[in-house]
Structures are given as C-alpha cells and as structure tokens.
Amino acid sequence: MSEPGDGGAQMGRRRFIQATAALASGLAISSIGRYSPPPSVARAAAAATRATGADLTRPQVPGAFGSLDPALATVLRRGYALPASDSGQLLVLNYHKVFGEPAPSPVGNAISVTVSQLAQHLQMLRAAGFRPVRLADVYRARLLDAPMPPRSVLITFDDGTAGQWIHADAVLRQAGFTAVAFLITSFVGKAAAFVSWPEVRSMVASGRWEIGDHTHNDHHTVPSGPSMPMESALITRAWNPRTNTLETLAAAETRVRSDFDLSLSTLQRERLGRPLAFAYPFSRVDGPSNDPVLPDFVKDTSSKLFPLRFTNFSPGRLVAPADMAVGLLPRFEVHRLVTALDLYEQIREANYSRTTVAGQPVPSSGPVLGLERGAAPTLAHGADHSHPGL
Ligand SMILES: [Zn+2]
C-alpha cells in the first residue's frame, strides 16, 4: 500500500526529492562526503558493486572465524565462495535493551541481548561480508534511486536505554560498526534506565552513533474504548475512562503533530540536528487502531518529516527497492534467543523473501545478497515475540 503524498508514483517521488533537497544540503559532509557525486546512477551502482563485490570472496577480518561457533564458521566458509549480488538490497537489524554479563534472565527481558550475544552477531556479519552503512547512506540511495552496495547492513537500537551506550558501544567500536539510536526524547535522562543528553552527545561525538526519532511522549498504549484493548497511542484515539469519552480525531491529530514537533525541537535544543529517520513505536503502522483515518494521518505526517521510517518484522525482511521508493523500511527484530547462527539463517531465508513491506512482489533474480540456500543446519527459533516496546 503506497503512502499519501509519498508513494512510489514518479510525481510523488519528484516532489519528495524536491522537498528533501534542502535537508540533503544540511547533512553532515563527513557522513556523505565519502562518495563523489555519480555521473549517473547506473555507473555509480556498477562501481559500488565492483568495489565491494571483490572483497566478499574472502574474510573481511583476518582470523574472523577463530572465536565463532564452529557450526557457524563452517556455514560461513561455505558461503564465501558465492558471488555477490548487485541488487542492492539492505539488511536492517533492530535491537532494544543491551545487558552486560551476567545478564538477567530472558524471562521478562525477551526484547534484549547480552553484550557477548551482540558481539557474536557483529562478528558473524563481518565474517559473512556485511559492511555497516549509515542513515545518510540509505537516505542518499533513496534520493538517487540507487542500490545500496551489496551486503550493506544498518544496525539500529530503539528506546535509548542506558545499556546501548554503556555496553553496546564498546562492542560496536571493537567490531568497527556504526549504529542508530532511536530516542524517545521525553525519556532521555528521565531515569537511570535511559541515556542522558550528555551521553547522547558523547555517542554522536564518538562518530559511531546517529540519532533517530522514536516519538517524544507517544510511545505508550492507550485504551481504545470501554473494555477495548490497549493500542499504540500514536495511531489510536484515546478512550478516557474517567469521562467516558473518546478523543476526537482532530484532537488526536493535534496530539500526534505536537508530539512530532516537540521531539524535533527537543533534538534541536540539544544541538543534535534534524534526524533523518523515525521508528514506529511497537512497529504499529496501519493498526490495530480504533480510527480508519488516524494511521494514514500519521504515515502522511511522518513521511513529510522523516525521509526514512522503520518498522519491524519477525522473521525479518530485507529492504527492497519498492520499500525504498515509499521510505518505509523493514527491520529484523533481534531478541535474546537469537544466536549468531540463528540470525545468519534468518538473513538467508529473507534473502529469498519476495514481498515488500507494502506487500508488493520483489522481482526474482536469484539470491539478493548472494547468500546460497543450502546445507546450513535447521535451527529451532525462539518463541513468538511481538514487540512490547520497553
Ligand atoms: Zn520502542
């Protein structure tokens, strides 16, 4: 399903490019300056494929297999002989809480990972030939309608919990990865469980972190009616049990718009600039909602404010060109029970997935990331884990 005012139609795309040209000029040069402007999109894509494809036939890190699970190392060795694809699809991973060791039980903390688990994931990605990219790289590819380099991966963390800086950053540094922190701006510094503004500035100053938006104060659930389920506040008209009244659509739209404005102005106040990306709370985009119009209003509003929006899938999906055209990108949600080998398996399966977020078919031309379907062991995956947010 395309989005109002920002769909795949060429007219909409041109309007999008015009509307975001000013934003592009304001991007940090250090983020996008590594690329020289391409003489043509096709030539740039071919050059990127040649430049990165050659490296995919050998380990990216000397001795990268040394401390990996032996079964995973075997799988990865087998995968190296495969040619790289040039179809330019992107892998986006999404993490939440990060615990040091010893970590608390996964019971009640399912949407979390441990530092050693994260380190294994990143090591696997390196060994499998993935290279980290930044939001600015993804944004630039979207503006130019150009493919991402083969085996590009964007690492993201939601909610701005303290472990992302205290624990995850050291792992990112050691593995040579960058990441995006999607902040709930009213939660920053609110409690010890969340990063503080000085910490956020340190994250950005490290060069390893970009900041994304995850609402100001609309990351919670509200009653959707009397005896009705709790739903994501961002796309739901709130039922007030004290007055037995339902928030009007106009009031809900004003609330949502104000929340976006407040989040952006808070980031500006903290001198963190204008974020390129927004992550939907609870990955709720189209519903459930008690209003047929409000989710589309949120999609329309967020698409005008953020050229890139993210939502999660489990099992994960790769970002397809049709997703890029809309600017609503799927992420793999990673949780405590996902080992590095599990994650590799999921990526390989998604490599053959042929539908986009919008449900549109992806043209089939072999494995999109150059990962072969084959003899990897079948693994039992974790329990169902719909995204509970915090
Ligand atoms: Zn969240």
Residues 347-375 have a mean pLDDT of: 56
pLDDT of 58 higher than 60: no
Please give the distance, rounded to the nearest whole angstrom, from the Cα atom of residue 67 to the centre of ligand 1. 32
Residue 144 host element (H or E)? helix 135-144
* Overall number of domains in the chain: 1
- The percent of residues above 70 in pLDDT, for the chain, comes to 68
Please give the distance, rounded to the nearest whole angstrom, from the Cα atom of residue 102 to the centre of ligand 1. 24
Q: How far apart are CA 148 and CA 135, in angstroms?
A: 12
- Give domain status of residue 132, yes or no: yes
pLDDT of 110 higher than 80: yes
Q: How far apart are CA 363 and CA 236, in angstroms?
A: 35
CATH code, domain carrying 91: 3.20.20.370
- Give domain status of residue 252, yes or no: yes
Ranges 37-46, 71-80, 149-158, 304-313: which has the least confidence:
37-46
Closest CA to 180 of 218, 162, 154: 154
pLDDT at residue 54, as a whole number: 28
Please give the distance, rounded to the nearest whole angstrom, from the Cα atom of residue 153 to the centre of ligand 1. 20
Ranges 284-288, 315-319, 349-353: which has the least confidence:
349-353
Between these two residues, 380 and 107, which has the higher pLDDT value?
107
Kindly indicate the confidence band of residue 197, based on its pLDDT and cuts at 50, 70 and 90: very high
pLDDT at residue 201, as a whole number: 97
- Give domain status of residue 376, yes or no: no
319 within 8 A of 151, measured Cβ to Cβ: no
Kindly indicate the confidence band of residue 361, based on its pLDDT and cuts at 50, 70 and 90: low
Between these two residues, 375 and 331, which has the higher pLDDT value?
331
pLDDT of 46 higher than 70: no
pLDDT in tens, 113-160: 999 999 999 988 888 888 999 999 999 999 999 888 888 999 999 999
Please give the distance, rounded to the nearest whole angstrom, from the Cα atom of residue 54 to the centre of ligand 1. 38
Q: Give me the residues near ligand 1 (ion), CB cutoff below 5 Å.
A: 158-159, 389
Cβ contacts of residue 5 below 8 Å, gap of 6+? 12, 15, 300, 303, 304
pLDDT in tens, 295-308: 999 999 999 999 99
Between these two residues, 24 and 63, which has the higher pLDDT value?
63
Between these two residues, 35 and 354, which has the higher pLDDT value?
354
Q: Which domain holds residue 111?
A: 43-350
Please give the distance, rounded to the nearest whole angstrom, from the Cα atom of residue 24 to the centre of ligand 1. 27
pLDDT of 112 higher than 50: yes
Ranges 126-135, 168-177, 242-251: which has the least confidence:
126-135
- The percent of residues above 90 in pLDDT, for the chain, comes to 54
Cβ contacts of residue 197 below 8 Å, gap of 6+? 188, 189, 270
Q: Phi then psi for 102, rounded to 5 degrees?
A: -75, 140
Percent of residues in the chain assigned helix, strand, coil, to nearest 5: 40, 15, 45
- Cα separations in angstroms, 390 against 100, 101, 157, 187, 314: 18, 20, 12, 11, 17
Unique residue bearing structure tokens 């009213």:
186
Please give the distance, rounded to the nearest whole angstrom, from the Cα atom of residue 213 to the centre of ligand 1. 10
- Give domain status of residue 144, yes or no: yes
Give me the chain's average pLDDT, please. Answer: 77
Please give the distance, rounded to the nearest whole angstrom, from the Cα atom of residue 292 to the centre of ligand 1. 23
- Give domain status of residue 110, yes or no: yes
pLDDT of 15 higher than 50: no
pLDDT at residue 26, as a whole number: 31
Return the CA Rg of the chain: 21
Q: How far apart are the first and last CA of the chain?
A: 29
- Give domain status of residue 362, yes or no: no
Kindly indicate the confidence band of residue 350, based on its pLDDT and cuts at 50, 70 and 90: confident
pLDDT at residue 320, as a whole number: 85
Please give the distance, rounded to the nearest whole angstrom, from the Cα atom of residue 333 to the centre of ligand 1. 11
pLDDT at residue 77, as a whole number: 67
pLDDT at residue 79, as a whole number: 55
- Give domain status of residue 8, yes or no: no
- What sign has the CA pseudo-torsion 326, 322, 55, 74? positive
- Give domain status of residue 17, yes or no: no
Please give the distance, rounded to the nearest whole angstrom, from the Cα atom of residue 220 to the centre of ligand 1. 9
Please give the distance, rounded to the nearest whole angstrom, from the Cα atom of residue 10 to the centre of ligand 1. 32
pLDDT at residue 227, as a whole number: 87
Between these two residues, 379 and 122, which has the higher pLDDT value?
122
341 within 8 A of 379, measured Cβ to Cβ: yes
Residues 82-91 have a mean pLDDT of: 59
pLDDT of 30 higher than 50: no
